[in-house]
Amino acid sequence: MESKHKEPLGQSPISVSPLWDESRQSWGMYPKTTSLVSPLHWRGQEFSESSQDKHPSLSYLPFGRGRSYGDSCLNDKNILLGTEKLNHFIELNNETGMLKVEAGLTLKEVLEEIVPRGWFLPVVPGTQFVTIGGAIANDIHGKNHHVAGTFGCHVKSLELLRSDGTRRVCSQEENTDWLQATIGGLGLTGIILWAEIKLKKIVCPWISRETLRFHNLKKFFEYSEDSDNKFEYTVGWMDCLSQGDDLGRGVFFRGNHLLVKEAAELKVKQERIKTFPFHAPEFLLNRLSMKAFNTLYYHTHPSKKSEIVHYRPFFFPLDGINHWNRLYGKRGFFQYQCVVPYEGSKSPIFDIIETFAKSGLGSFLTVIKTFGNSISPGILSFPKPGVTLTLDVPNEGQKTLRILEILDEKVVKCGGRVYPAKDARMSKESFKHYFPERPAFEKYKDPKFSSSFWRRVT
């Protein structure tokens, strides 16, 4: 691969033109914050010059593309360090699949280069508009968690820049403890400059996908158990408002990379990107409209279907609609993602889903997936063995917060945890239960780095 730069922009001065940006927000559009935004142009040392000279008491936080939902990527009344200029490919070893890239590149940019060369990222989330740095800092997971673990499992090394100007290469051979703190470290250990990632070999961009409707939660678990050793990718969409015998009904998607070479000949159907034109008015966001949507979505999927699809609609269906988050109106929305013990039909997830279905809240998008047993490498990584549920919930103020707090109590009780990358409201108390590892993390945190999330939960 032609590298745009052999080295990260090592010695050029940081040229910071900080601006107070009042519109900085994450994907959930809640909370609204104001930050001093400094796009980053590198120099290796004397990091603390720049905007800190004028505002010595302010803290830093790296900012990827703001595809986190809550406030873990926000730093209200403090400094965000934009990483979009760190967008260079450094090296691809075509024999081993080892890729070295700067941390501000998005997964989309990376995939566009590597897929035609027969490689794929080892783990991808539900959108390709996240950066390599963001993927590491939240130790993201994908539809293949049951076989591949988290993104961090495939990071062989990275370089970390600290606010005192020191640079540290962290790998499985050196500074391993720093690697473990930075994977899932919420951007608080310093700035990741570049990372080396082990890619996965593929023969073509196509996925063979099966779609199966499941009529209740028990059936979801059956499909999941049956699929996890035959399919690399599995995930379920769920109608979160059905109750009684239909509780947890939904649509199961499973797939594998297509292995046959001929598939490469298939023509990509031109994808048309649509844009959600405005913030939806609040009167549209009611339980009735959400119930109608959920019912329709469930019934428009066939009970079983097999097809060959391109990797983009398979992995990133929502990327086909720009600004889909506007669907939730100007007040924004919460994404609530928890993981709780698996325990099959006795899983606490039954109670959590039933509580939500009866709560009076609704969600257009509810996703369920079983995590595998692999141990996440980060001290503060979210994934652990069990079943994970993701709910998008419109922000209706206190009512919403109260119900999510009730869900928290249930998750705490069964020893589960809630995902910081999606969170804008968990309490200090809950965070303490979810992440008892936090004291071990503290010594790696950069003293000049912080976030709105971190100040709220610690």
Ligand X SMILES: Cc1cc2nc3c(=O)[nH]c(=O)nc-3n(C[C@H](O)[C@H](O)[C@H](O)COP(=O)(O)OP(=O)(O)OC[C@H]3O[C@@H](n4cnc5c(N)ncnc54)[C@H](O)[C@@H]3O)c2cc1C
Q: Which residue ranges make up the site for ligand X (CB under 6 A)?
A: 27, 61-68, 72-73, 83, 103, 125-127, 130-131, 133-135, 137-138, 140-142, 186-187, 191-192, 318, 421
Q: How far is CA 431 from the centre of its chain?
A: 18
CA distance 390 to 70: 14
CA distance 358 to 237: 19
Task: Select 9 or 137, whichever has its Cβ closest to ligand X.
Answer: 137
Q: Please give the helix or strand (H or E) that residue 275 lies within, else none.
A: strand 274-275
* Closest separation in Å from C-beta 184 to ligand X: 10
* Closest separation in Å from C-beta 416 to ligand X: 16
CA distance 217 to 345: 8
* Closest separation in Å from C-beta 449 to ligand X: 8
Task: Select 167 or 215, whichever has its Cβ closest to ligand X.
Answer: 167
* Closest separation in Å from C-beta 63 to ligand X: 5
In one-letter notation, the amino acid at residue 192 is I
Task: Select 247 or 365, whichever has its Cβ closest to ligand X.
Answer: 365
Task: Select 51 or 242, whichever has its Cβ closest to ligand X.
Answer: 51
- What is the b/e burial string over 20-53, where b = at least 16 CB atoms within 10 angstroms of the residue's CB? eeeebbbbbbbbebebbbbbbbbbbeebbebbbe
Task: Select 152 or 242, whichever has its Cβ closest to ligand X.
Answer: 152
CA distance 445 to 456: 16
- What is the b/e burial string over 87-96, where b = at least 16 CB atoms within 10 angstroms of the residue's CB? bbbbebeeee
* Closest separation in Å from C-beta 134 to ligand X: 2
How many Cβ atoms sit within 10 Å of the Cβ of residue 115? 16
Half-sphere exposure of residue 35, counting CA atoms within 13 Å on the CB side? 27
CB 325 within 8 A of CB 318: no
Task: Select 103 or 247, whichever has its Cβ closest to ligand X.
Answer: 103
> In terms of C-beta density within 10 A (0-12 exposed, 13-18 middle, 19 or more buried), how is residue 61 classed?
buried
* Closest separation in Å from C-beta 185 to ligand X: 7
* Closest separation in Å from C-beta 26 to ligand X: 6
Task: Select 266 or 321, whichever has its Cβ closest to ligand X.
Answer: 321
Give the per-residue SS3 of 300-341: HCCCEEEEEEEHHHHHCHHHHEECHHHHHCCCCEEEEEEEEC
Task: Select 103 or 340, whichever has its Cβ closest to ligand X.
Answer: 103
* Closest separation in Å from C-beta 103 to ligand X: 4
Half-sphere exposure of residue 319, counting CA atoms within 13 Å on the CB side? 16
